[in-house]
Each structure stands twice: as structure tokens, then as C-alpha cells.
Amino acid sequence: MKTGKVEDSTSGWLSPDGDFYPCEKLGHLALTQELKNNVFKNELKINDDYYLEKVGWIKISQLRIYGIKCFTIQQIDFIARMILAYNMKKTIEVFCERLEVSKFFEKCGVV
């Protein structure tokens, strides 16, 4: 299963390691099944999307970020490149709000 670059799609799943798995618009269910078969070796549970989010994956759908409150450095790097590539003004506001230092560390359990 191939990972993609920022320019490959505006939708997909972003792993905690910063690997982006692109999909077509509204293609997350099919991609989740593909991840289940190829990346997780059928280890995912019934609600696979929910499980991916719980283990730190970020769902990106049409340049919107879903399902996570704590980002890894690799995810921050990818999202920053995506913001620059697509000139995503609204996402910049949401992303910066989520990265507000005190709230960010509190959500991540560091404080």
C-alpha cells in the first residue's frame, strides 16, 4: 500500500508517523478497509474509523481535520505542508487553535 504526498489528495488518513494514505472524496470507508487488510493485518475492530482515531490517526476530508486533539510532530509537519500547499486559511485558524500551547499539552496529558 503506497503512501502519498500533500499534493496527492485533499482527503485520506494521516498516521501518527506522518504517513499519508490518500483517498477519493468520501472514500474513507474503502480506505479504512484497505488499511485494515494491508497495514493492520486485519486487527481493526468493527468500528474501524473510530479505532484509527483512538490510536492517533487523523482523518482528513476535503482539507478538514477530524478526530484528534493531540498531534505528533510528524502529523504537525504534514499538516503544515498541506496548509501551505492549499492556502487553507480556515484550517490554519482551527489548527492553531488546537495547537494553543497550554490546551495542547493538557489534552496530550503532559501538564
Tell me the mean pLDDT per 10 residues along the chain, length 111: 74 92 85 81 68 86 80 87 76 64 54 43
What's the residue count for the chain? 111
Task: Please give the grid coordinates belonging to residue 8.
Answer: 496527492
Can you give the pLDDT at residue 18?
93
The pLDDT, as a whole number, for residue 17 is 93
Q: What is the pLDDT of residue 111?
A: 43
As given in the structure block, the three cell numbers for residue 70 are: 493531540
DSSP conformation letters of 13-37: EE-TTS-EEE--TT-HHHHHHHHHH
Question: Is 0.85 topped by the overall pTM?
Answer: no
